[in-house]
Amino acid sequence: MRSSHRTERSLDELYRDDPERADALVWRRRGVLKGAALAAMGAAVGGAIPFARNAPPGFVPSALAQGAAAQGPEYLQMEGKARLVLLGDRPLNAETPEHLLDDDVTPAPNFFIRNNGQVPDAAPNAMAWKIKVEGEVNTPLDLSIGDLQQRFEVVTRRLQIECGGNGRSFFVPQARGNQWSTGAIANSEWTGVRLRDVLRAAGLKDSAKFTGHHGSDLHLSGNGEAISRGMRIEKALDEDTLIAFRMNGQPIPQIHGAPARLVVPGWPGSLSQKWFNRIELKAQPHAGRGMGGTSYRVPTAPIVPGSRNDGATFRDLENMPVRSILTNIAHGTRLPAGTRRIEVRGQAWAGDDTVRADDVSVDFGATWTAMTVNPPPNSHSWQRWRGAVALPSDGYFEIW
Amino acid sequence: MSAGRLLAAGIVVVILVLAAREHGLIGRSERPPPHPPTPARLAFEAESSAAEARAAAARRQAEAAQALAQAPEEESVLAEGPGRSETFGYCTACHNTALIRRSAFDRERWDELMDWMTEKHGMNPLEGELRQTIVDYLAAHYGPRQRGPRGGNPFLN
């Protein structure tokens, strides 16, 4: 339909195959888009780019980046799950497109999927599922979910679970691990008992400084545990760290760790052990699979991106960084011609911390509009932000 | 008819009536009607069938995930080139090729990954010529990209 159809294809393809050359073609030496190059880029993204002069040199428009994967995304098809973007099926990993994160409480179908190993069979009797507490405690415990419900206060909180690698695909050079965009986050309503109440019932010794978590999922090779991570005792004693047995008022879905899982909000999701059946209290940091090295860890001093490193000077990733997503307008949305004002909203969160401000730009970061940010309904919940932005004309815009 | 015959016929009739009652052919209406279910029983039954439905859904979800994990892959999903069958053969015992296909590392990072897979994940150590073949293949076909989805790294170059 558009006369520029052929240009569009070829530039799109060029970006996919040889972004370097595409840039050389499209961007002038000082990186300012103008003339024929601007027209070509506009054709490629399907509309004029009113704020092109603000775009950083070498910048690839989101509309092209979306199509950059060799053959577009694959989608998960599974009963009880939404159309998540499938990252791999052995191990099964899938992320949630941002526009499916618009609910304040993430529905079970929209919850992202991260597995390190094999998905175990469903437990025949959830109430009889046992959880052991052992190690540096005075009285080791072995409690069923029924026992937990009877002995401890049952609480319900909205809590974030975010994969430690959320946003990883934006790193250059590429970082190892699942190439999440920003959809490895969920904020469901969790019901369970506080881990700290259970640990206190077991009687923590002074030597109990760290935890080690265990679940029933097997490693991909079939040998041993899929993953076993641990944290400082301070986080285990946080009031929002739960042994959860319900999600959004229902039993936890199998794929999300039924019948019981840890919920360690604001810290890497790998601590929120699925199919949770044992916690060790330790004097030294845990040494399970997924501890040490470079995984789930960050440098303590800057390093050259992509350089070799054994992680000896790394520390464990704890409090997750601040992040904000737009949830009411999907990537690639076409608005009616003449639209000059759009309502925008999304979610923002910051690990253990609270978000105070959120700003949006539609001119590649040259100017920013303040949004209103709701306080979280409880600590460790994400926060709703909303507002409106003005568009000066029709054309291609990115909402930053 | 003699009195004896009459008596015998009477006995037969009594036996027939008793047998019919025993088998529920007559006299049914004397049984008390069944109780209508109490609200508590209805609630219990509803909860039990909901619990069964949930358990069945959990089983189906586990099975669906396991079926996905078993979905067969063809070697041809990997880029064509020398070393492809060695790589496909050695590298798909634990996971499928999605992890490989999404990766974009230089040769050194790929080489390092072979040790990581052995040390952390129990892969049989990959040594000698086979290691060379596989790492060469990976570096040639799944080498680093100059740019990420949104551009380059201003701190490199």
pLDDT in tens, B46-104: 988 988 898 899 999 999 999 999 989 999 999 999 999 999 999 999 999 999 999 99
CA distances to B16, B83, B118, B132 from B86, in Å: 85, 5, 17, 11
What confidence tier does A2 reach under pLDDT thresholds 50, 70, 90?
very low
B76 touches chain A (CB under 8 A): no
pLDDT in tens, A173-205: 889 999 999 999 999 999 999 999 999 999 999
**Euclidean distance between CA atoms B124 and A218, whole angstroms:** 18
Q: Across all residues in chain B, what is the average pLDDT?
A: 86
A3, pLDDT greater than 70 = no
B-chain CB neighbours of A62 within 8 Å are 150
**Euclidean distance between CA atoms B96 and B72, whole angstroms:** 9
Please report, as a single letter, which amino acid is at residue A160: Q
Site from A76, A89, A256 to mutate, B interface, most B CB atoms within 10 angstroms: A89
Residues constituting chain A: 400
* Alpha helical stretches, state H, A111-216: 145-151, 195-202
A121 touches chain B (CB under 8 A): yes
Phi, psi at A74, each rounded to 5°: -95, 155
Across the interface, do B102 and A87 touch by the CB < 8 Å criterion? yes
Q: Which residue of B has its CA nearest to A19?
A: B147
The pLDDT assigned to B27 comes to 56
Please report, as a single letter, which amino acid is at residue A111: F
How many CB pairs below 8 Å do chains A and B form together? Answer: 146
Neighbours of B15 (CB within 10 A): 10
Would you tell me which residues 111-130 of chain B have a C-beta closer than 8 angstroms to some C-beta of chain A? 112-113, 116, 120-123
The pLDDT assigned to A9 comes to 47
CA distances to A120, A271, A288 from A293, in Å: 27, 16, 12
A294, pLDDT greater than 60 = yes
Pick B69's closest partner by Cβ from A89, A223, A253: A89
Residue tagged 């669906």 (tokens) = B64
B-chain CB neighbours of A179 within 8 Å are 102
Question: What phi-psi label fits residue A85: left (phi over 0), alpha (psi between -120 and 50 degrees) or beta?
Answer: beta
In 3D space, the residue among B101, B74, B85, B96 whose CA is nearest the CA of residue B133 turns out to be B85
Contact A296, A316 (CB under 8 A): yes
**Euclidean distance between CA atoms B144 and B139, whole angstroms:** 8
- Domain limits, chain B: 37-71, 75-141
A137, pLDDT greater than 70 = yes
The pLDDT assigned to B73 comes to 93
What confidence tier does A387 reach under pLDDT thresholds 50, 70, 90?
very high
What confidence tier does A49 reach under pLDDT thresholds 50, 70, 90?
confident
**Euclidean distance between CA atoms A54 and A227, whole angstroms:** 45
Local structure of A19: helix, strand or coil = helix
A299 touches chain B (CB under 8 A): no
A76, pLDDT greater than 80 = yes
Q: Across all residues in chain A, what is the average pLDDT?
A: 90
**Nearest 5°: CA angle at B84, between B83 and B90?**
90
Question: What is the fold of B75-141?
Answer: Cytochrome Bc1 Complex; Chain D, domain 2 (1.10.760)
B58 touches chain A (CB under 8 A): yes
**Euclidean distance between CA atoms A116 and A148, whole angstroms:** 27
Local structure of A159: helix, strand or coil = strand
The alpha carbon of A263 is separated from its chain's Cα centroid by a whole number of angstroms, namely: 14
**Euclidean distance between CA atoms A66 and A59, whole angstroms:** 14
The pLDDT assigned to B8 comes to 76
What confidence tier does B17 reach under pLDDT thresholds 50, 70, 90?
low
Across the interface, do A119 and B71 touch by the CB < 8 Å criterion? no
B4, pLDDT greater than 90 = no
The full DSSP string for A73-112 is -EE---TT---PEEEEETTEEEE--GGGG-SSS--GGGS-
Domains of chain A, start order: 11-66 (no CATH), 114-164+187-316 (3.90.420.10), 323-390 (2.60.40.650)
**Euclidean distance between CA atoms A361 and A370, whole angstroms:** 9
Q: Does the ipTM surpass 0.85?
A: no
**Euclidean distance between CA atoms A264 and B72, whole angstroms:** 36
Across the interface, do B102 and A91 touch by the CB < 8 Å criterion? no
Question: Which of A75-79, A94-98, A110-114, B152-156 shows the lowest mean pLDDT across its residues?
Answer: B152-156
What confidence tier does A29 reach under pLDDT thresholds 50, 70, 90?
very low
Please report, as a single letter, which amino acid is at residue A73: P
A4, pLDDT greater than 50 = no
Q: What is the mean pLDDT of residues B5-21?
A: 73
The alpha carbon of A193 is separated from its chain's Cα centroid by a whole number of angstroms, namely: 24
A26, pLDDT greater than 60 = no
A-chain CB neighbours of B64 within 8 Å are 78-79
A84, pLDDT greater than 90 = yes
Pick A308's closest partner by Cβ from B65, B66, B108: B108
A5, pLDDT greater than 60 = no
Would you tell me which residues 144-203 of chain A have a C-beta closer than 8 angstroms to some C-beta of chain B? 169-174, 176, 178-179
Q: Tell me the angle at which helices B107-121 and B128-141 cross, rounded to the nearest 10 degrees.
A: 120
pLDDT in tens, A223-272: 999 999 999 999 999 999 999 999 999 999 999 999 999 999 999 999 99
Contact A351, A105 (CB under 8 A): no
Across the interface, do B151 and A60 touch by the CB < 8 Å criterion? yes
Q: What is the mean pLDDT of residues A99-121?
A: 97
Pick B69's closest partner by Cβ from A79, A118, A171: A118
